[in-house]
């Protein structure tokens, strides 16, 4: 039997925010970080405190703390250089999270970035609007956005067994939401650049450029 879904037409309180998934950081001491619920989300924008920016930079660096290939040079031996090495040297970077869509009036979530989704793929939203017309945002939940004519249908969990929150928005409204979320990312990057000059002076330019790559943004001037 087909799963029953509910659809809401509610254009006034829908928000789209870039969110970064946060992991535990109990023993982190390389720079000041904030206290956040593990495996929750940190909303990225230009209004974060220095400690919150530190948390975001730590998390993005941690997402890329892999063993780089030899082509990227030997790994530094100091703790800071070691922690930043993957972020600063790998061309393809990952930032766990994505654009979350919620109804602020009811706290209903219509798109939640799932496992394996990253902020570096946020331009998939542009594919929904002007390209293939469909995008998935990780799994558990399997959030999906589909364009049908002048409407974009957002489903929190396309694989849900007992119904899933669904909303239909106009293409123009989604375009505005995506533009706003992109600006939030750009504002965060500007903030992170200033933060890096204060907390990572020896790596500030490289770190800021790496963050821009991790968020698929143009570097800040």
Per-residue pLDDT of the chain (221 residues; tens, 9 = 90+): 344 444 455 445 899 999 999 987 778 999 999 888 778 999 999 999 999 999 999 999 999 987 656 556 677 788 999 999 999 999 899 999 999 999 988 899 999 999 999 999 999 999 999 999 999 999 999 999 999 999 999 999 998 867 889 999 999 999 999 999 999 999 999 999 999 999 999 999 999 999 999 999 987 65
- DSSP code per residue over 132-169: SSEEE--BSS--EEEEETTEEEEES-TT-SS--EEEEE
Kindly report the number of other CB atoms within 10 A of residue 167's CB atom.
Answer: 21
Q: What residues does 94 pair with on adjacent strands?
A: none
pTM of the model: 0.89
Q: How far apart are CA 146 and CA 148, in angstroms?
A: 6
């Amino acid at each position: 039997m087909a799963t029953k879904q509910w659809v809401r037409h509610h254009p006034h309180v829908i928000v789209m925010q870039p969110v970064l998934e946060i992991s535990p950081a109990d023993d982190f001491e390389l720079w000041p970080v904030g206290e956040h619920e593990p495996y929750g989300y940190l909303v990225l924008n230009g209004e974060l405190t220095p400690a919150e920016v530190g948390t975001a930079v730590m998390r993005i660096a941690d997402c890329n703390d892999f063993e780089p290939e030899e082509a990227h040079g030997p790994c530094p031996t100091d703790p800071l250089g070691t922690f930043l090495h993957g972020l600063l040297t790998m061309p393809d970077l990952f930032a766990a999270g994505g654009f979350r869509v919620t109804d602020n009036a009811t706290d209903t979530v219509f798109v939640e970035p799932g496992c394996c989704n990253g902020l570096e793929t946020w331009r998939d939203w542009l594919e929904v609007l002007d390209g293939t017309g469909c995008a998935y945002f990780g799994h558990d939940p399997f959030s999906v956005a589909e364009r049908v004519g002048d409407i974009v249908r957002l489903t929190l969990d396309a694989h849900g067994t007992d119904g899933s929150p669904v909303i239909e928005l106009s293409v123009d409204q989604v375009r505005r939401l995506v533009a706003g979320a992109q600006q939030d990312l750009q504002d965060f990057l500007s903030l992170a650049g200033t933060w890096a000059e204060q907390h990572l002076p020896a790596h500030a330019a490289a770190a800021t450029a790496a963050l821009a790559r991790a968020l698929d943004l143009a570097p800040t001037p």
